[in-house]
Amino acid sequence: MYKYFPHTDEDLKAMLEKVGVETLDELYPQIPESIRFKGDYQIDLTEGEMGVRRVFNKLGAENKQLTCFAGYGVYDHYTPSVIPNLLQRSEFLTSYTPYQAEISQGTLHYIFEYQSMMAELTGMDISNASMYDGTTACAEAMMMAVAAGKKVNKVLVSETLNPKTRQVLDTYALHHGIELVTIPAKDGVTDLSALNSPLSSLEGVAGVMVQQPNVFGIVEDYTGFADACHAQKALFIMDCVAADLAVLKTPGEWGADIAVGDGQSLGIPMQFGGPYVGYMCCTEKLIRKMPGRIVGMTKDNREQRAFVLTLQAREQHIRRQKATSNICSNQSLMALFVTIYMSLMGKKGVKEAAQLSYAGAHYLCDELLKTGRFHLVYDKPFFNEFYVKYDGDADQLYQKFIDAGFLGGVRMEEGFLFAVTENRTKEEIDNLVKIAAL
Amino acid sequence: MNNKLYGNLIFELSKEGRIGYSLPGNNFGNYEIPTSMCRAEDAALPECDELTVVRHYTNLSNNNFGVDTGFYPLGSCTMKYNPKINEEMAALPQFQNLHPEQPAETVKGAEKLISILEHHLCELTGLAHFTFKPYAGAHGELTGLMVIDNYHRSRGDLQRKKVIVPDSAHGTNPASAAVCGLEIIEVKSQADGTVDLEDLKRLVEQEKDNIAAMMMTNPNTLGLFEKSIPEIATLIHDCGGLMYYDGANLNPMLGVCRPGDMGFDVMHINLHKTFSTPHGGGGPGSGPVGVREGLQEFFPFVSPYNGNFAVMMRAFAYILSLGKEYVKKVGPLATLNANYIKESLKDVYELPIDTMCCHEFVFDGLKDKSTGVTTMDVAKRLLDYGYHAPTIYFPLLFHESLMIEPTENESKETLDAFIAVMRKIAEEAKTNPDEVKSAPHNTPIGRVDDVLAAKHPVTTYRQLKAEL
């Protein structure tokens, strides 16, 4: 037997006897012989623990470790050592969704803290208990806008949204019967004047979705958007990089009805695409339209403060096909991750990290421009990510970066999209620039 | 567990001037963020030192119950052991530091891992291809239904929008169908808990060209294997529909029977159930979707990269650990454990369908209903004795559903102790029903007021402070 199975021969005998059969094979009398699996799976024999380590180390060695200057929605921020350590507390790690409040106060308590912190960060009234990631949070916001509207199924999406997010939106929209219309961009930013053009008229629109900073790293000015939306009863939805909100004007201040995005920037490792955590916040009046879990405060029968999953009448296990979403789990452990991150970094630390990222990115940009071979594609204010054109062979330079151990941004049509976080040192930036200047 | 001491919110431990981080100084020069870009006020996050934060969350964890704490017989959730080696592997920096936009030549190891895992899952399910984009089981259901919808659209079969679902199905099935723009029609269960073939034939006859798919979990939510599955698959295929397998109950099938061989075309797997990745208090999970050859071109773009890659790494470590010889033991041992509990308790708990079950089974409350002790009471009393409660009031087929799933990792001693407590509670229901009805007594908090929470939602610290 393997170490995960405690059954001794003696146990097996006694248990089979209780069940009234003689062998394990006889436990499945209902399965027709014709479909029973009788062969061997074509997979390897057990590796045991040492073998597992060998396989992973071998595969790991085939990955190249690069100093990361890429972003595009996923950022190499610093992870305080406390977090992975606390996340391994198996009382958190190996528990299920907190249905039994009496023995799940740990989870319920931190989700309440998470919701509180996200509401502060976004400047919104309330938050749900988290979503899968930023792109699916956007898709849920799109469907939420349509559900909240009255017989409207059109959603406008800015051209400056990350194309990957847009692709996820397109997928959901196709099946859910939502019409997506693009608001064109002008000089790298969403064109407000286009909102009133016939193509993207606000009439009959359920929601308008924009991104901050946008796909090019530009901090857009969304003055007038919320008013234009609200005048036509459309919801204004902002998709924001969570960490940047420590400094940037919040969705609440812009007048957004729904704030969504990815929380990965709050210290979660990039880990090749996931798990991350999506967030969704909204105004109080939309609370009953919100998808996903929500934790609320209450009292127990001993008059103690307690926390509990609430407003479950919105959810799939009660409402089935009439639920606000099919979402079942949230991204609980990753919500714990960012909650601990925000607890450690606190009011000052999140700001300082954002300022360092901003400074590092602007320093890199200045140094690249100084080489005379790079130009900003759009002359607009950016945060910690920027889009530059290169006057040489960009593919070749990108490869040179890799050979030198750098992930030199993300290759875009016209050049490179570079991102810098507090995790990058001046020395690393200078070395990158040296290669770029050659 | 001392809720009195550790009941504070992190915000209530905050004191201005404390910090819990260390960041380098700014040596990039003077780059001021223009105030026009900035928020008016700082985010009101707590200010705490590192030990305060560590102690707060460590103590919070003490108010939680996980598989590592004790027996967790939560039906339908497959709360099996989450091996530690999986965690060690998922934390390897060679994988953790990979940006998802890195060029292929720099992530060969990660790509190889994904392709070997895909091969493993194909072998174990009898399907031909998997997409790892879905982040969770419900996301996988939605993805699978999109595959089906895309398939029908590609053939110009635009009217195929109906999905047949048994009345015992998981709530996510109809919800996922609705998100996918599909309509649910329910097929009845027979007295023995399996699909009523006559009712199914009637539905198929009636809806014929409108049927997109039939969605099933097998064994079903009562833990019973649908013995007519070959006939059901033929019925659906003959009318042009596809068969969708909800992988929530895949665990007892490992080593026994594969969804592909049962006649299913599309399925999702909950890696956080069958393949031992931790539930994490409700995520992150992973819900890869598998399809029969030819359907892979219909995989939709439901997330940007490789799904929850670090969760997939854990599942991969688990399959490597067991290997082909031990992975076959998973299903039979899970099934043995479930039947053992069932047989040991059916004289005191109502067993509506008395037959061999798979990995789980459902009681309809206590046999003796005269005491007024409900399934809720039994569940809460179990907490007093140091057990997690079974799934309660699901499936909806019975009024007092109590759904027990022990998994293959539990020893006979653990099961015997649980059985003894379940019998003790049944006895208490007769001798001291009030003790059971007012349970739990030994937990950090007592029963909570759900109505208060929903009637007057307080969901943030900001609202909480305003209440004071």
**A38-63 mean pLDDT:** 96
**Distance in Å, alpha carbon of A40 to nearest chain B alpha carbon:** 7
Q: Are residues B310 and B377 in the same domain?
A: no
Q: Tell which residue, A132, A104, A185, A300, has the closest CA to residue B139.
A: A132
**Distance in Å, alpha carbon of B201 to nearest chain A alpha carbon:** 21
**Distance in Å, alpha carbon of A297 to nearest chain B alpha carbon:** 5
**Which regions of B288-421 does DSSP assign to beta strands (E)?**
289-291, 361-364, 391-392, 401-404
SS3 A205: strand
Interatomic CA distance for residues B69 and B62, integer angstroms = 10
Q: Are residues B316 and B363 in the same domain?
A: no
SS3 A146: helix
Q: Are residues B416 and B272 in the same domain?
A: no
Tell me which residue in B64, B300, B324 faces A95 most closely, judged by beta carbons.
B64
Among B56, B69, B87, B101, the strongest candidate for a mutation testing the A interface, having the largest count of A CBs within 10 A, is: B101
Residue A142: predicted pLDDT = 97
Q: Is the pLDDT of residue A319 over 80?
A: no
**Between chains, do B225 and A30 touch, taking CB under 8 Å as contact?**
yes
Per-window interface: B 30-59 vs A, CB < 8 A: 31, 33-34, 37-40, 42-48, 50, 53-54, 56-58
**Distance in Å, alpha carbon of B425 to nearest chain A alpha carbon:** 18
Q: Is the pLDDT of residue A250 over 80?
A: yes
Mind listing the pLDDT tens digit for each residue in A92-104?
Answer: 999 999 999 999 9
Tell me if B411 is assigned to some domain. yes
Interatomic CA distance for residues A258 and A206, integer angstroms = 12
Interatomic CA distance for residues B352 and B361, integer angstroms = 10
Residue A413: how many CB atoms within 10 A of its CB?
8
Q: Are A136 and A168 in contact (CB under 8 A)?
A: yes
**Residue B97 touches chain A, beta carbons under 8 Å:** yes
Tell me which residue in A273, A311, A346 faces B454 most closely, judged by beta carbons.
A311
Under the banding of pLDDT at 50, 70 and 90, the label for residue A151 is confident
β-strands B242-247, B211-216: how paired? parallel
Interatomic CA distance for residues B285 and B103, integer angstroms = 26
Instruction: Report the CATH fold assignment for A67-78+346-437.
Output: Aspartate Aminotransferase, domain 1 (3.90.1150)
Interatomic CA distance for residues B173 and B76, integer angstroms = 14
SS3 B444: coil
Per-window interface: B 316-375 vs A, CB < 8 A: 317, 319-329, 332-333, 335-337, 339-340, 343-344, 355-356, 358
Tell me if B33 is assigned to some domain. yes
Under the banding of pLDDT at 50, 70 and 90, the label for residue A199 is low
Residue B216 exposed, middle or buried by CB count within 10 Å (0-12, 13-18, 19+): buried
Which of B271, B290, B323 corresponds to the end of one domain? Answer: B323
Q: Tell me the residue type at B344.
A: S
Residue A410: predicted pLDDT = 98
Interatomic CA distance for residues A25 and A8, integer angstroms = 17
Residue A200: predicted pLDDT = 66
SS3 A399: helix
Q: Are residues B318 and B335 in the same domain?
A: no
Chain A partners within 8 Å of B54 (Cβ): 82, 86
Residue B92: how many CB atoms within 10 A of its CB?
19
Interatomic CA distance for residues B4 and B102, integer angstroms = 49
Chain A partners within 8 Å of B83 (Cβ): 4
pTM: 0.97
Interatomic CA distance for residues A372 and A280, integer angstroms = 42
Q: Are residues B319 and B333 in the same domain?
A: no
Instruction: Report the CATH fold assignment for A82-340.
Output: Aspartate Aminotransferase; domain 2 (3.40.640)
**A141-145 mean pLDDT:** 97
**Between chains, do A102 and B447 touch, taking CB under 8 Å as contact?**
yes
**Chain A: residue nearest B452 by CA?**
A298
SS3 A416: strand
**Between chains, do A346 and B21 touch, taking CB under 8 Å as contact?**
yes
Tell me if B466 is assigned to some domain. no
Residue A265, CA distances (Å) to A74, A384, B70, B104, B281 in order: 7, 12, 35, 23, 22
**Between chains, do A176 and B181 touch, taking CB under 8 Å as contact?**
yes
Per-window interface: B 148-207 vs A, CB < 8 A: 149, 171-172, 174-181, 184
The CATH number of the domain holding residue B228 is 3.40.640.10
Q: Are residues B170 and B288 in the same domain?
A: yes
Interatomic CA distance for residues A379 and A64, integer angstroms = 34
Per-window interface: B 410-439 vs A, CB < 8 A: 410-412, 438
**Which regions of B218-371 does DSSP assign to beta strands (E)?**
242-247, 266-269, 289-291, 361-364
Q: Are residues B135 and B50 in the same domain?
A: no
Mind listing the pLDDT tens digit for each residue in A373-409?
Answer: 999 999 999 999 999 999 999 999 999 999 999 999 9
Q: Are residues B258 and B181 in the same domain?
A: yes
**Between chains, do B110 and A84 touch, taking CB under 8 Å as contact?**
no
Among A105, A131, A430, the strongest candidate for a mutation testing the B interface, having the largest count of B CBs within 10 A, is: A105
- pLDDT tens for chain B, 468 residues: list them: 444 455 899 999 999 999 999 999 999 988 999 999 999 999 999 999 999 999 999 999 999 999 999 999 999 999 999 999 999 999 999 999 999 999 999 999 999 999 999 999 999 999 999 999 999 999 999 999 999 999 999 999 999 999 999 988 888 888 899 999 999 999 999 988 899 999 999 999 999 999 999 999 999 999 999 999 999 999 999 999 999 999 999 999 999 999 999 999 999 999 999 999 999 999 999 999 999 999 999 999 999 999 999 999 999 999 999 999 999 999 999 999 999 999 999 999 999 999 999 999 999 999 999 999 999 999 999 999 999 999 999 988 899 999 999 999 999 999 999 999 999 999 999 999 999 999 999 999 999 999 999 999 999 999 999 988
**Between chains, do B45 and A28 touch, taking CB under 8 Å as contact?**
no
Q: Is the pLDDT of residue A363 over 70?
A: yes
Tell me if B78 is assigned to some domain. no
Non-local CB neighbours of B427 within 8 Å, separated by 6+ positions: none
Question: Please, what's the largest Cα pairwise distance for chain B?
Answer: 79
Tell me if B220 is assigned to some domain. yes
Q: What are phi and psi of A118, to 5 degrees?
A: -65, -35
Q: What are phi and psi of B439, to 5 degrees?
A: -70, 155
Tell me which residue in B280, B388, B452 faces A100 most closely, judged by beta carbons.
B388
Residue B2: predicted pLDDT = 46
Residue B367: how many CB atoms within 10 A of its CB?
15
Q: Which domain holds residue B242?
A: 84-323
Counting one residue from chain A and one from chain B, the pairs whose CB atoms sit within 8 A come to 656
Q: Are residues B125 and B273 in the same domain?
A: yes
Interatomic CA distance for residues B391 and A167, integer angstroms = 37
Tell me which residue in B9, B82, B452 faces A299 most closely, judged by beta carbons.
B452
To which H or E segment does residue A43 belong? Answer: none
Under the banding of pLDDT at 50, 70 and 90, the label for residue A328 is confident
ipTM: 0.97
Which of B298, B323, B348 corresponds to the end of one domain? Answer: B323
Q: Tell which residue, B134, B366, B120, has the closest CA to residue A42.
A: B120
Q: Are residues B15 and B155 in the same domain?
A: no
Q: Are residues B269 and B167 in the same domain?
A: yes
Q: Are residues B372 and B280 in the same domain?
A: no
Residue A47: predicted pLDDT = 87
Interatomic CA distance for residues A409 and A391, integer angstroms = 16
**Between chains, do A402 and B106 touch, taking CB under 8 Å as contact?**
yes
Tell me which residue in B61, B230, B340 faces A106 most closely, judged by beta carbons.
B61
Angle between helices A105-122 and B50-61 (to 10 degrees): 140
Angle between helices B229-238 and B197-207 (to 10 degrees): 10
**Between chains, do A103 and B443 touch, taking CB under 8 Å as contact?**
yes
**A285-302 mean pLDDT:** 94
Residue B1: predicted pLDDT = 41
In chain A, where the domains are located: 67-78+346-437, 82-340
Residue A195: how many CB atoms within 10 A of its CB?
22
**Residue B122 touches chain A, beta carbons under 8 Å:** no
**Chain B: residue nearest A222 by CA?**
B37
Number of domains in chain B: 3
User: Which residues, in sequence order, are bridge partners of residue A382?
Assistant: A218
Mind listing the pLDDT tens digit for each residue in A117-137?
Answer: 999 999 999 999 999 999 999
